Structure formats: C-alpha cells, structure tokens
C-alpha cells in the first residue's frame, strides 16, 4: 500500500524542509506552517522516496525533505499521475494534482552539488480540496 514516509515543512522558500512526522493539510491553503502554503495551485509538493534513492545512488547524502517536498511518499508513481487526479491522503485529506514537475529558474543546492535534481521531473504539486491531519505511515491512494 502506498504511504507517507515524511511530512516536511520549512519557514522560508528555497530551503530544505524538516520532517515533522505529522502535520495538518488546510483546505485551499496547504500544509500548516509551511512557507509554500497559500491560495495558489502549488499548495503541497510531493516526491517519492524512490526518486530520492536515485540521487542517493548517485552518491548524494540526501533524504526526505532535502528536495523541499512537503510529503515524501513510497509505493506510488507520482509523475505518472494525470492532472486532476485526486489523492486521498491519510484518513481525511483529499488533494488534486495540479502540476507535474516544475521549471527550476534558480538551480538549488542539490543541483549544484550533484549536477542534477529529481524534483523538477518527478515531483508533483496538489491543491488541498479537503483538509485533515497527515502522519508518517498514513496511506495515500488514488481516488477512482
């Protein structure tokens, strides 16, 4: 079963995020206390642990939150999801995929360290349709 392996926030944009293990997704806002939350289409970012492991295999000492993602997932092919796909996150929250990947205007620290970064290709963004608490270990499911 696909699951959440980290719930991460940062006080400022452009920083690696810290795993807080549990957080609250706020409807039409994003992850509470995160710098990227707000009334726009990229309220919450997701990146798969499988993507992070690619960077680890390239020799980088990175882990969940280091690519500035809010939710690190496991067992779900995030970049294969279509725009508009709805994701049930934990027992209550519901999100809708609004963007796959992103353009990096300013190369992040990871890119400069490794010469590559997976977030622009393999990260996704959602807006929060229904809020709720999310925790490490919670399931994440594609709603049919």
Q: Name which residue leads in pLDDT, 49 or 102.
A: 49
Q: Does residue 115 surpass a pLDDT of 60?
A: no
Q: How many CB atoms lie within 10 A of CB 78?
A: 23
pLDDT at 109: 58
Q: Does residue 73 surpass a pLDDT of 60?
A: yes
The DSSP code for 139 is B
Q: Secondary structure of the chain: what % helix, strand, coil (to 5)?
A: 15, 35, 50
Q: Quickly state the pLDDT bin for 142 (edges 50, 70, 90).
A: very high
DSSP 93-128: EEEEEEEES---SS--HHHHHHS--SHHHH-EEEEE
pLDDT per residue over 28-56, tens digit each?
999 999 999 999 999 999 999 999 998 89
Enumerate the domain spans of the chain: 3-142
Determine if the pTM surpasses 0.75: yes
Between CA 80 and CA 95 the distance in angstroms is 16
pLDDT at 22: 98
The conformational region for residue 102 under phi > 0 = left, psi -120 to 50 = alpha, else beta, is beta
pLDDT at 108: 60
Q: Quickly state the pLDDT bin for 104 (edges 50, 70, 90).
A: low
Q: Which fold has domain 3-142?
A: M1 Pyruvate Kinase; Domain 3 (2.40.33)
Q: Does residue 110 surpass a pLDDT of 90?
A: no
Q: Name which residue leads in pLDDT, 119 or 31.
A: 31
Structure tokens at 65: 């939150």
Q: Does residue 98 surpass a pLDDT of 70?
A: yes
Instruction: Please state, rounded to an integer, the average pLDDT across all residues of the chain.
Output: 90
Q: Quickly state the pLDDT bin for 9 (edges 50, 70, 90).
A: very high
């Amino acid at each position: 079963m696909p699951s959440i392996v980290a719930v991460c926030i940062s006080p400022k944009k452009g920083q690696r995020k810290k795993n807080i293990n549990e957080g609250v997704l706020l409807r039409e806002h994003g992850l509470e206390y995160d710098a990227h939350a707000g009334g726009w289409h990229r309220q919450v970012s997701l990146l798969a642990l499988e993507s992070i492991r690619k960077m680890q295999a390239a020799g980088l000492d990175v882990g969940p939150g280091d690519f500035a993602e809010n939710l690190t997932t496991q067992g779900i092919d995030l970049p294969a999801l279509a725009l508009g796909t709805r994701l049930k996150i934990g027992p209550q929250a519901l999100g809708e995929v609004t963007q796959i990947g992103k353009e990096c205007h300013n190369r992040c620290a990871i890119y400069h360290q490794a010469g590559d970064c997976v977030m622009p290709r393999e990260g996704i963004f959602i807006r929060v349709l229904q809020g709720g608490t999310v925790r490490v270990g919670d399931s994440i499911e594609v709603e049919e």
